[in-house]
Structure 1
Amino acid sequence: MKKIFSKMILAMVAALAVTGLAGCGKDDGATAEQKKDTPMKVIFYPSESAAEFEKSRDALKDILSEATGRKVKIVTTTDYNIVIESISNGQADLALMGAEGYIQANKKNPDVKAILTNSGASGTLEDALYYSFIAVKEENEKEYETGDGYTIDPIKGRTFSFVSNSSTSGFKVPSNAIVKEFDLENSDELINEGKFFDKVLFGGSHQGSAVNLLKGDADAAAFMNLPQYFKVADGEENKAGMLYQVKDDAEAPFDTVRGEKARIIQSTPVLNAPIVANTKVMSQKEIDKVIEVLTSKEVSDNEEIFAPEDAEQAALFVKEGDERFLEVDDKFYDPIRELSK
């Protein structure tokens, strides 16, 4: 089932990557004079609100301010729903959020549109993917071994940690896989304690969910690949069977679990997260300026935003090849919508 889902995502990404990208903003009639004293608010998910990404956020702040001629206010959060509600109701102009959160926001308010995402190492949308993991602690991995691979079957009846029920790779994708694997009615069975899992935790961020596992509070956990904090100790990067080890210099919240290891028992590719605009509070001209500057070589070469793998300072994005921002539209995220059908 996992391989079929992975192939579906990759196939749909490839198909969408070659389609034309439609314009997604609209001019709300507001003049530059009316807006120049109103800060443009850019809001971030909890995982991207971590302290070590402050330089990345500040770099984006300066770039967007210069491009649009407006002051920019960065808003960090500790709750996925704050971001979803803020971009939906116009309290934020732009948001860096996951695909599932975007879909929820777009459903609440169709004026919320995906405008950009980060590419893969090829510099294209064909590999604009990251990975959703289900992991267990190294010392418990033998319970999950089957043949020459791993199975998620033993997670039933255990304590499990998700990220947030609005997270794509920390809930939507892994819960979909579990529902199909165990032939459940829906994901509600997964969040009601005692129904499928004995206990359910929510880490609030990918970092938090991973720490729930590594501290022993959860038997298994869902979180995304986190190269800013982990190194590959064994196996193939981002593949099931990989042994993920917390780096010796990992910053909080991993500073208390440095050196700890987790075995990845399931890995599923996920479409990269979008940068989202509320097209009711932003004019098309402003959106065009944002797209133009963020897709520029100046930004793709900015190591405070796209940091090399060996960089001392963490950034929002890791640059392994030709990573950059690319324009997308709402349809790019249809594969994630399909998971709810």
Structure 2
Amino acid sequence: MSVRPFTLATALAAVAALSLTACGGSSDAAESATCPGGKVRFGVEPFEDPAKLTPAAEVLADALGESLDCEVELTVTDDYSAEVLAMENGKLDIAMFGPLGYVFASGRAKAEAVASFGDGTGKVSSYTAGIWVPKDSAVTSVAGLKGHSLALASVGSTSGDALPRQAMLDAGLKKDDVKINYAGGHPEALLALAKGTVDAAEINSQQLASATAAGTFDPAGFRKVWSSDPIPNDPITVRGDLDAEFKKAVTDALLKLPPDKVGEIGALLDVDPPAPLVAVDKSTYQPLFDLAATLNLTEKDV
């Protein structure tokens, strides 16, 4: 298995070579119904520090490759938009998206959600978005953020962008009432609050668990002033225009992976103890489709 960086510029540059990649494949790998083009290209969105995310995703990618008897090329993208664009341009065969990223990939790349991280009872696991402030802050609610600065993760993030913005609208805040700083990711937003460079920050339950376990964040020094409803965890998707036999093979392989092969990346999503992946489909993420419609989000927002 190989790992390589993938940026928005790379995705754009690769469009010209798309027809050769899709038709020619690799001369060194055997092609089959489960190995089109001689390899499977798997993308993962950058929801965690790459130093933690990449090795965890490699375990899942390697296990999937063994099951399919095919090389799985792993790509941890630089941002959410690059991953959607890569699948749209045929450069990814399967991809793990954030829930809101999947909404846009569903429309632009015909991404089909097939599996997500189970909670041990056979149901899809979930997480929550949150807004935190220092313990001694005068801010006690979302409405109290008026006139203050707020660190969000990245444009297009479910818990690190859309849901906090929806919470501010629900609280009656206008666009310019809060100074929004996009930190570049969930770890960076948390760090901005911990260092005191912003008055508040989004910290989802996954990042909270990860940072607390790593000793980089002490919740005792901060307060949560808002939490979202549970969000179904990230879906693993297959590009819709691929052969039906391949899509079924990938789905079957994912759902049969043992817990220890999905546990490392699942732990970064606050899934504990490790459990098998569970089947999901578009209806699982309908609340996120509804959220995008409510906020009038378009592909320009990812």
TM-score range, shorter chain: 0.7 to 0.9
Partners in 1 of 2:33 and 2:271 — Cα distance?
38
Match of 2:6 in 1: none
Contact residue 210 and residue 270 of structure 2 kept, 8 A:
no
Superposed, 1:225-240 pairs within 5 Å as 225=205, 226=207, 228-230=209-211
State the alpha-carbon separation in 1 of the partners of residues 67 and 266 from structure 2. Answer: 25
SS for the counterpart of 2:100 is: helix
Amino acid at match of 2:283: K
* Maintained 8 Å contact 2:130/2:204: yes
Distance in 1, matches of 2:136 and 2:52, equals: 30
- How many percent identity over aligned positions? 22
Number of the residue aligned with 2:139: 144
Matched, 1:60 2:60: yes
Kept after mapping to 2: 8 A contact 1:134/1:223: yes
How do residues 102-121 of structure 1 correspond to structure 2 at under 5 angstroms? 102-109=102-109, 111-121=110-120
The aligned residue for residue 81 of structure 1 is 81
For 1:336, give the aligned amino acid: L
Q: CA deviation at 1:228?
A: 4.5
Matched ranges for 1:290-329 at <5 A: 290-296=250-256, 298-300=257-259, 302=260, 305-307=262-264, 315-321=267-273, 323-329=275-281
- How far did 1:321 drift? 4.7
In the other structure, the counterpart of 1:12 is: none
Cα drift, residue 155 of structure 1: 0.7
Match of 1:265 in 2: 225
Identify the residue that residue 196 of structure 1 maps to in structure 2.
177
Q: CA deviation at 1:165?
A: 2.1
Contact kept? 1:53, 1:314, Cα under 8 Å: no
Partner of 2:194: 214
The one-character-per-residue Cα deviations of 1:36-86 (angstroms, maximum 9, x if unpaired) are: 554311111112462123332121121111222221111112211111111
Distance 1:266 1:34 in 2: 45
Q: Distance in 2 between matches of 1:290 and 1:93?
A: 10
Matched, 1:163 2:115: no
- 8 Å CA contact 2:32–2:38 kept in 1: the answer is no
- The total of aligned residue pairs comes to 264
User: What CA deviation, in whole Å up to 9, does each residue of 1:86-109 have, x standing for no partner?
Assistant: 122211111111111111122223
Change (3 A) 1:314 1:121: closer
The 3-state SS of whatever aligns with 1:32 is: coil
Deviation at 1:138, TM superposition (A): 2.2
Q: Deviation string for 1:293-339 (max 9, x for gaps)?
A: 2222x422x0x5315xxxxx994444435733111111221111112
More relative contact order, 1 or 2 (CA 8 Å, 6+ apart): 1
What is the aligned partner in structure 2 of residue 14 from structure 1? none
Other-structure match for 2:290: 338
Aligned partner letter, 1:283: D
Q: What amino acid sits opposite 1:66 in the alignment? A: E
Give the partner amino acid of 1:98.
G
Off by >6 Å, runs of 4+ in structure 1? 28-31
Within-5 A mapping of 1:6-85: 32=32, 35=35, 37-48=37-48, 50-85=50-85
- CA deviation string 1:165-197 (max 9, x = no partner): 20111111111111111165xxxx2xxxxx222
Kept in 2, the 8 Å contact 1:306–1:323? The answer is yes
**Is 1:135–2:94 an aligned residue pair?**
no
SS in 1 for 2:107: helix
What TM-score do the two structures reach when normalised by structure 2? Answer: 0.77
The aligned amino acid for 2:263 is F
AA of the residue aligned to 1:175: R
How large is the Cα RMSD of the aligned pairs?
2.8
SS state of the match for residue 40, structure 1? Answer: strand
Q: Which amino acid aligns with 1:180?
A: D
In the alignment, structure 1 segments of 5+ residues that lack a partner are: 1-27, 146-150, 190-194, 231-245, 308-312
Give the match's secondary structure for 2:193: helix
**Structure with the higher helix share, 1 or 2:** 2
Distance of aligned partners of 1:182 and 1:33 in 2 relative to their CA distance in 1, 3 Å threshold: closer
Distance in 2 separating the partners of 1:272 and 1:70? 27
1:305 match: secondary structure? helix
In 2, Cα distance between equivalents of 1:121 and 1:266:
27
**TM-score, normalised on structure 1?**
0.69
